[in-house]
């Protein structure tokens, strides 16, 4: 037992030295899934972390040590090793399946590094191979995807730390083992690939947007030498004879590849998941779209199923559900009333309902049940 404690302590302290984040918050969030009744202590840690007091650093250190003691009392060495997978960097440049054959493309994750033609061609070949294979990782452990099981699609660019947070929150979600988790990338990054391929709590698939800026750095759909500058006036663009001079956007701006890529990637991944994947060919369940900088609650799948069930009774035309909003303030009643009015007034619209309206709709529906 003493040897076990020493091994755990050594592993935990080693993990705290990882430089993937500027503190150990990420580890504590993930470790909390293994420890019951730790929330009060963790909240103390968070409140101390964000309070601007003279004793801030001393308080954080004390709470971190307290949390370490709690985790050491509950975590097994195997559990700590499991946690480490999502926190460590790629070891010794070793690449897993789908991570490349030695090409250190965009190892920093920003997709802006100057790549040689040979490296770009190599990335294109690997993207084509992965997309053609359509391999579902962990399928031997969790079995085939049920037709009505949720499919979660994550759009990934190059923010590795944010993606770690999202994966850790997904790992804590109840019922996550029933899902298929699809990561759709527009940057080939060995470190991101390594992280994704270490996810073992559900089925996982990677798909790669083949028309990215990374693989087309000097031609459409990337940046082309003859592209119109973003803020140039239309008259100036016509005089320059630059590409698409006749067609600025609604605000008078011209195309920027880094922004249009996000939109093009979104539509490509939606069509890919709905129409081109063997794993989703007979799928009849919900498809949830996330992005790399999102974070999910532990009960998000349960709430999503409740929303789906409620819509069948109270909003049959609703075919888009939203689990969140970017707004900091929200008028629940006013927006819900507008949605109800639209349902009553127009029979041909496509309708949506957000989680923020869900509580009101659910209470009304329960009265009918």
User: Is 74 annotated as belonging to a binding site?
Assistant: no
Residue 51, C-beta contacts closer than 8 angstroms, at least 6 positions apart:
59
CB within 8 Å of 54: residues ≥ 6 apart: none
Is 2 known as a binding-site position? no
154 is in an annotated binding site: no
Instruction: List C-alpha distances in Å: 35 to 87, 172, 287.
Output: 18, 12, 31
The rounded distance, in Å, linking the Cα atoms of 256 and 278 is: 34
Give the other-Cβ count within 10 Å of 184's Cβ.
22
Q: Is 263 annotated among the ligand-binding residues?
A: yes
The answer to whether the annotation marks 302 as part of a ligand binding site is no
Q: What is the distance between the alpha carbons of residues 128 and 17, in angstroms, rounded to a whole number?
A: 37
Is residue 168 within 8 A of residue 69, CB to CB? The reply is no
**Is 262 one of the annotated binding-site residues?**
yes
Q: Is 165 annotated as a binding residue?
A: no
53 is annotated as contributing to ligand binding: no
Query: Running DSSP on this structure, what letter comes out for residue 176?
Result: G
CA torsion 54→56→58→63, rounded to 10°?
Answer: 150
Per the structure block, which two tokens stand in for 138?
């962990």
Nearest 10 degrees: CA dihedral of 238, 243, 247, 253?
Answer: -90
How far CA 148 is from CA of 1, 144, 182, 202, 304, in Å, comes to: 45, 12, 16, 15, 13
> 102: left (phi > 0), else alpha (psi -120 to 50), else beta?
left
In whole angstroms, give the CA distance from residue 263 to residue 327.
21
**293 is annotated as contributing to ligand binding:** yes
Ligand-binding annotation for 261, yes or no, is yes
Beta strands in 226-296, from DSSP E residues, in sequence order: 287-291
157 annotated as a binding-site residue: yes
Query: Residue ranges for the binding site?
Result: 155-159, 186, 261-265, 293
Query: Residue ranges for the binding site for Mn(2+)?
Result: 293
Query: Residue ranges for the binding site for substrate?
Result: 155-159, 186, 261-265
């Amino acid at each position: 037992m003493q040897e076990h404690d020493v091994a755990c302590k050594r592993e935990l302290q080693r993990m705290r030295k990882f430089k993937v984040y500027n503190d150990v918050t990420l580890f504590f969030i993930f470790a909390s899934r293994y420890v019951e009744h730790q929330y009060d202590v963790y909240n103390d840690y968070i409140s101390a972390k964000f309070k601007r007091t003279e004793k801030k650093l001393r308080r954080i250190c004390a709470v971190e040590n307290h949390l370490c003691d709690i985790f050491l009392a509950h975590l097994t060495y195997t559990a700590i090793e499991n946690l480490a997978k999502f926190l460590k960097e790629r070891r010794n440049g070793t690449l897993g399946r789908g991570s490349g054959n030695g090409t250190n493309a965009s190892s920093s994750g920003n997709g802006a590094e100057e790549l040689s033609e040979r490296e770009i061609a190599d990335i294109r070949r690997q993207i084509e191979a992965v997309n053609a294979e359509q391999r579902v990782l962990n399928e031997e452990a969790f079995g085939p995807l049920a037709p009505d099981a949720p499919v979660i699609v994550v759009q990934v660019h190059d923010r590795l730390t944010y993606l770690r947070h999202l994966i850790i929150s997904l790992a804590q979600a109840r019922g996550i083992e029933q899902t298929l988790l699809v990561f759709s990338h527009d940057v080939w990054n060995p470190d991101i690939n390594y992280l994704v391929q270490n996810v073992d709590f559900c089925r996982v698939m990677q798909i790669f947007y083949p028309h990215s800026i990374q693989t087309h750095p000097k031609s459409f759909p990337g940046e082309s030498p003859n592209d119109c500058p973003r803020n140039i006036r239309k008259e100036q663009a016509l005089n320059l004879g630059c590409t698409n001079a006749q067609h600025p956007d609604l605000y008078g701006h011209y195309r920027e590849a880094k922004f249009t890529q996000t939109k093009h990637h979104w539509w490509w991944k939606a069509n890919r998941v709905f129409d081109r994947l063997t794993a989703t060919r007979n799928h009849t369940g919900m498809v949830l779209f996330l992005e790399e900088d999102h974070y999910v609650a532990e009960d998000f799948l349960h709430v999503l199923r409740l929303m789906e069930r409620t819509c069948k009774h109270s909003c049959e035309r609703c075919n888009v559900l939203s689990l969140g909003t970017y707004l900091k303030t929200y008028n629940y009643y006013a927006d819900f009333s507008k949605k109800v009015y639209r349902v009553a007034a127009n029979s041909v619209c496509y309708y949506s309902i957000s989680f923020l309206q869900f509580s009101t709709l659910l209470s009304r529906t329960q009265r009918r049940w």
